[in-house]
Chains A and B, each alone.
Chain A
Amino acid sequence: MTEEALFRAALRSRNLVVGNLLAAAFAIGALLSLFWTPYDVTELAIATRLQAPSAIHWFGTDHFGRDILSMIMVGAQTSIAVAIVAVGIGMGVGVPLGLAAAARRGSLLDETIMRGNDLVFAFPSLLIAIMITTVFGPSALNAIIAIGIFNIPVFARLTRGAALPIWTRDYILSARVSGKGPVRISVEHILPNVTNLLIVQGTIQFSLGILAEAALSYVGLGVQPPTPSWGRMLADSQTLIAIAPHMAMFPGFAILLTVLGLNLAGDGLRDLLDPRIRNAPP
């Protein structure tokens, strides 16, 4: 498919368009908050707390009088940063492991990597994250590492699974005959052929990363105050839900819409990029 055709197909995919628009809205909010927010999120104004949404404070104010719109914008930064690094860790470690396992299929290395993955997979991901942050103390960095670690087996398995059939192809055989080592083959021939899958999986893991960050912050193990985080905003709002429902509503919607957007985008990308679906009869 030519680039132009691909682009046209992308525009036709409703999932992809809606998903990307939603994700982009939050990305723009996060980027904007780097330079400007309607109000300072570290400044407290007890006198004007718990105000309902109004022209002055579009999303209202929280229990300390902070502007919720500003907090959601900065919170998007936190969520996106945590998710990007966590997916980065997962890909950075998981993909090479998966490639190595596929290259040495059936060997001790393969067994070690895959059983190691099974071990990490065996624990519920949030439980691992809670364990890590409890042992090493709650902080943004530890939350990122924790979320990153349970991304590793996801990418390792995916990569290995996708790489194995490629290794049986004729062009790999010819590459081997021409004297290329397994590392070079993996990088030059295998990796480009699994990139599509990795992108799709990356989008989905990204949304899971945002959810995980929100969950960790909700129980107090993620980003520490005063840095705003959607999960902690939800936790703060919990006892106030009867008198200030807007405090729970906006961070809740922010999480919902971002994750929905990323999942739609992931689905759309898969439809577009996955050769099996792409070539399937309609």
Chain B
Amino acid sequence: MKRIQQSAAAFALLTLAAGGAWAAKADVTIGIQLEPPHLDPTSAAAGAIDQVLYSNVFEGLTRFGPDGSVGPGLAESWEISGDGTTYTFNLRPDVKFHDGTDFEATDVVFSLDRARAEDSQNAQKALFSGIKSVEAADPTTVVVTLNSPQGNFLFNMAWGDAVIVAPESIDDIKGNPVGTGAFRFSEWKRGDSITVVRNADYWGAAPALEQATFKFISEPTAAFSAMMAGDIDAFYSYPAPENLVQFEADPRFTVLAGNTEGETILAINNKMEPFGDVRVRKAVSMAIDRQAIIDGAMFGYGTPIGTHFAPHHPDYVDLTGNAPHDPEAARALLAEAGYPDGFETTLKLPPPSYARRGGEIIAAQLREIGIETEISNLEWAQWLEQVFRGYDYGLTIVSHTEPMDIGIYARPTYYFQYDNPEFQQLISDLSVENDPARRSAMLKEAQRTISEDYVNGFLFQLALTSVVDARLNGIWPDAPTQAVDLTGVSWTE
């Protein structure tokens, strides 16, 4: 009897201890779809790198807030000269890198010079192309001189590609990233997960979490089971919208539906016949029923767009009316262009479900106006080789997730090969324009131009759907950039 009492007491103690540990939970496991190829955000385009490291491990002069606004980062404040070409950044004092070295103006000079160098591996070199010189005036002051005024320089400096790295740790950055952020890199289990731990010497407010693990799960079924089993506490950018209904109905979870910067388009090879004819492109656009694609491929998550611009941006113009769903009119346009019986083309689809499912729906919609598509499902590597670099495609579906990327339409060699000198002039004027009102007008003009040229079929703005444990707070619902910022994440007590 006594023994039973003892063991009962021990059991009670055990459960108490377990309960106590649960209440003090300060670690989190977050599922993400893709594993980063390496851990240097300044030398690769892979969004997975920023998802793990942006703001957590690495910081820039400025940084994106949860709503996409640009605020101070490692630069406390800044002054802009009257002519708009000189930016003087006042850096935060007493900031240390994770390896103990001081963060100083020379690190900023090093980082920006490295990014804009001739042999730079930076994936977004255009962000730095306007810089004439970067100088350290004193340890906490950096002066950046631009070739000409640049309207979005502070925005550019907030990108993950513009984070500040240290010359002392640059050689090993791909496997052991050393930044200034609230978390320091701890462990990378290849093929499985990356762990970061709290940086005790962080200059800003200490994060609530002590440790965070990013687990790579690309398979929708595996993501579903991991979430349901509680193996992960949150899944950022959940891969299967069809499961969200179930998560919504389950009180253990919260589904966050937010905006991304991902304009999902039916890209048209503008140089491939018959797509050189604007009437054909317009017919393709008018054959598309956007709502059917959003419902069928994304289970209702997504906002229709009529141009290559994010609807949540203040300068967005709703141009969906330029190409209403009208198969009759589309057939008439095709006949006018000399294809009364339609034609055949290829539709090459990368792996994400928006493309694979959307592709089947679009193929059916195009068939209605006589365009027969030969669908091929490609892996990303094949897609990059055949479509993105090889221009060997008629149509494809892809989401462009970079923020404010309408400028890609000014690059005649970009994969959809749209070559319009007027548009190119407009974008180059825009890049040196500083006046907010004029910038806004030019952005609207740019949106109209590509919409009225029917460059691509503009489908919908990709929604960001994340599934999180209902007790977890602070995960960004929107994705102003590819980031899972953990600094404000905490568990409900």
Contact = CB atoms under 8 A, between A and B. Distances in A.
A44 B361 contact: yes
A49 B359 CA distance: 17
Contact of B364 (A42, A238, A240): A42
A225 interface: yes
A181 interface: no
Contact of A63 (B224, B245, B296): B296
Nearest to A240: B242
Given A63-B242, A64-B357, A64-B360, 8 more contacts: A44-B292, A46-B296, A49-B296, A64-B361, A225-B360, A225-B375, A239-B240, A243-B246
A240 B241 CA distance: 10
A177 interface: no
A55 B57 CA distance: 58
A65 B374 CA distance: 21
A142 to B, nearest CB: 11
A252 to B, nearest CB: 15
Contact of B243 (A46, A63, A139, A239): A239
Given A137-B376, A239-B243, A243-B242, A46 B295 contact: yes
Given A64-B296, A138-B376, A242 B240 contact: no
A238 B222 CA distance: 11
B221 interface: yes
A43 B364 contact: yes
Interface in A213-257: 220, 224-226, 238-240, 242-243
Given A42-B364, A44-B361, A226-B363, A239 B220 contact: yes
B364 A44 contact: yes
B364 A226 contact: yes
A239 B377 contact: no
Interface string B342-376: 00000000000000010111011001000000111
Given A137-B376, A238-B221, A239-B243, A226 B296 contact: no
A-B pairs, top 3 by smallest CB distance, nearest first, are A46-B296, A239-B240, A239-B220
B292 A46 contact: yes
A61 to B, nearest CB: 12
B361 A226 contact: no
A243 B375 contact: no
Interface of A: 42-44, 46, 49, 63-65, 137-139, 220, 224-226, 238-240, 242-243
Which of B359, B361, B376 has the most CB atoms of chain A within a 10 A radius of its CB? Answer: B376
Which of B242, B245, B364, B374 has the most CB atoms of chain A within a 10 A radius of its CB? Answer: B364
Contacts of B367: 42
A149 B360 CA distance: 30
Contacts of A43: 364
A224 B363 CA distance: 12
A139 to B, nearest CB: 8
B377 A138 contact: yes
The B interface, classified by DSSP as helix, strand, loop or mixed, is helix
Contacts, number: 55
Contacts of A243: 242, 245-246
Contacts of B361: 44, 46, 64
Contacts of B220: 238-239
B296 A44 contact: yes
B15 to A, nearest CB: 32
Contact of B363 (A46, A65, A225): A225
A185 B377 CA distance: 49
Contacts of A239: 220-221, 224, 240, 242-243
Contacts of A225: 359-360, 363, 375, 377
Contact of B376 (A46, A49, A224): A224
Contacts of A44: 292, 296, 360-361, 364
Contacts of A139: 376
Contacts of B245: 243
B292 to A, nearest CB: 5
Contact of A224 (B221, B292, B357, B375): B375
A111 to B, nearest CB: 39
14 contacts: A42-B364, A46-B295, A64-B296, A64-B357, A64-B360, A138-B377, A220-B377, A224-B377, A225-B377, A238-B220, A238-B221, A240-B242, A242-B224, A243-B246
A269 B245 CA distance: 50
A49 B242 CA distance: 12
A49 B377 CA distance: 23
A46 B361 CA distance: 9
B297 to A, nearest CB: 9
A167 B375 CA distance: 51
A242 B225 CA distance: 11
Contacts of A240: 242
Contacts of B376: 137-139, 224
Which of A42, A46, A220 has the most CB atoms of chain B within a 10 A radius of its CB? Answer: A46
B280 to A, nearest CB: 22
Interface in B185-226: 220-221, 224
A93 B163 CA distance: 62
Contacts of A46: 292, 295-296, 361
B18 to A, nearest CB: 30
Contacts of B363: 225-226
Interface string B308-349: 000000000000000000000000000000000000000000
Nearest to B359: A225
A65 B224 CA distance: 23
A63 B240 CA distance: 13
B357 A63 contact: yes
B385 to A, nearest CB: 12
A64 B360 CA distance: 9
Contacts of A238: 220-221
Nearest to A244: B242
